[in-house]
Each structure stands twice: as C-alpha cells, then as structure tokens.
A = this chain, B = another copy of it.
Amino acid sequence: MRLAVMGVGAVGRAVAELAGQYGHDVIGLADSTGAAMGDPLDIEEALARKQETGVVGERPHEELLAADYDVLVEATPTTLGDAEPGFSNAAAALSRDRHVVLANKGPVAERYADLRAAVEESAGELRFEATVGGAIPAVRTVEDLGPERVDRVRGVLNGTANFVLTRMAAEGLGYDHVLAEAQELGVAEADPSFDVDGTDAALKGVIVANVLREARGEEALSLADADVTGIDELPTSALSLAGEDGRTVRLIVDASASGVRVGPRLVPENGTLAVTGTQNIVQIETGHAGRLNLSGRGAGGAETASAVLADVGRLPPR
C-alpha cells in the first residue's frame, strides 16, 4: 500500500523506516513544520533533514493530505478535547475514501462518535491498534472475539507509571526520587504528568470502552467520563504495606461497556497483573473464551509501529 505518514515523532519515524520491510511505500511524511513528498519518498533524506534542520519538508501538509495514498497513518501527538490536528487529518483522508490508521489516541478517545460518522460516509476503513498497549494486539483480539462478547478489559497500560511503581516497591524509594531516575533513563518524559496522573492510561481505557459500547449500540465516552486517580500522590508506605501482605500496587485500567476506572490498585505480587518495569498487560474477560492475558512492550517507536503496520496489513486493498 501507499502510506502518507502524519507526525514525525518516534512512532511516525519508525513507521516510515519499517514500512518497506512490510511491502509498503511511503509517499509522504509531514509534521507541523511541513511535508516531504516523493514517489516513493526518500525516507532517509527526509528524516536526516528533520534531524539537522528541524524541518522535515517545505511543502504545506495539506498537499500531503490531498496526495495519492491508500492509507493515512496519523501519528501526530495526542491532544485532548477537539483532538486536533489528528481528528481533521483523519477526517480529511476518510472524506477522500482513504483508509486511516491511528497511532494518535486523541480522536478515538475524545471524538469517537465524530470519527465513526466520518467512517460511515467513507469507503475507507479506520484502525487504531497502536493506540492501546503498543505492540500488544489488544484491539484486534477484542475484534476477533467479538466486542459484544467481551465483558471487561483490565490492564496496566502505562509503562512509565509502572516503572515508577516497580522501582518504588523494589527499592523502597520515594516517588520524586524514582521519577527523577526515570527521567534520566528516558523512561519518563520531561513533563510526565499524563503518565503519572493516569490520563494516558484513561485514554486507552476509554478507547476500549468505546469499542465495547459501539458493539452494544451505546454512545461513545470521552476522557471526561472516566474516573481517574494517578500515582503521583502515592506514598512509599502504601507499597511497603502491600509488600508485607504479598501484594503490590499497580495503576490499573478497568474498562467495560458501563465505564472506565483508572487508579492504583492492590494486586498479588506474583499475579498476572503485576508486570514489572515498562511492560504492559491487557486482560480480556469473555464468556466463552474465559480470560485472556496479553502482555508485552506497551510503548516504543518500533513496537508501536509494528501495531500500525499490522493494522495496515489487515486493510482491504483500494
């Protein structure tokens, strides 16, 4: 397929670099600084230019949106509320009957109904595996089981928060100390608020809940509907107390058709949900298939790009 990639962060870059290995051509790469286009695009050159000059290309990104691609890969930063520019990029591609694969959580978490309406009008399809759990095939597995038969999805969906909790429990260190360490290691961003206050995990829960609700004919949710508590106020004492009891604390997302709850929860120390470090886990509860556990790398450019490219591989040819 011919891919147009919007967003030149870790995921957009990895998608562009790996697409060839999956048999796809990249015809354009754009971010807020502009667009680079070619048929196929010289990816190395464009990424080198971005590195050196900060500008990926000189063309306006509207030109790329209007170009001849099969799939728009939307990997611009996740934004809340109107979820722009991700939403408009996706809508523009769908209005031209192109497929859209999202790595950007904003449109599916904040404007799912608007996005579905755009899909209804389009011959293109929408996929968004990469928005939940990085390399973990959470959305595809829910689809394959049938969302109407999935009762509940729980999991650990933020690697930064999980790294902090794991270190706090293992070393008995305080939150601020471990967070600083995580930032030095590049596991936490300079502004880690979305990771530690539960927002990022909640967005993923809302996306899963929207898939479960759509299958039941229920209205989509947004972040505002989720009940969210972060780990930023968690005292080290809570972790040591849990430890004495053979348990530990994890930031657990609990999503079902009836809603989304995110917060620190006690889990068995060696239990399935107690993944360590930056690992993520998704636990899918179904009637017939019982409980499925999927764990792996929940973030990272190449890992998330592999989910994007698996989505591309599931799209019908245009």
Residues of A within 8 A of B (CB): 14, 18, 21-22, 135-137, 140-141, 144-146, 149, 270, 272, 286-297, 300, 302-303, 305-307, 310, 313-314
Contact = CB atoms under 8 A, between A and B. Distances in A.
B297 A296 contact: no
Contacts of A306: 145, 149, 286, 288-289
**Chain copies in the assembly?**
2
A289 B297 contact: yes
Contacts of A291: 296-297
21 contacts: A14-B288, A18-B288, A21-B149, A135-B290, A137-B144, A140-B144, A141-B141, A144-B310, A144-B314, A145-B310, A146-B310, A146-B313, A149-B306, A270-B270, A287-B302, A288-B302, A288-B303, A289-B306, A290-B296, A292-B295, A293-B293
Contact of A293 (B14, B295, B307): B295
A140 B144 CA distance: 9
Given A286-B306, A313-B144, A294 B297 contact: no
A270 B274 CA distance: 11
A279 to B, nearest CB: 9
A162 to B, nearest CB: 15
Contacts of A146: 22, 310, 313
A290 B286 contact: no
A172 to B, nearest CB: 20
Contacts of A305: 288
B137 A141 contact: yes
Given A22-B146, A144-B140, A289 B272 contact: no
Given A313-B144, A313-B146, A292 B290 contact: no
A289 B306 CA distance: 6
A273 to B, nearest CB: 12
A65 to B, nearest CB: 27
* Shortest Cβ-Cβ A-B pairs, 9 listed: A135-B289, A289-B306, A292-B296, A270-B270, A144-B310, A288-B306, A288-B302, A290-B297, A293-B295
A307 B288 CA distance: 10
A143 B144 CA distance: 13
Given A290-B300, A290-B303, 11 more contacts: A18-B288, A140-B140, A141-B141, A146-B313, A149-B306, A288-B303, A289-B303, A289-B306, A292-B294, A292-B296, A293-B295
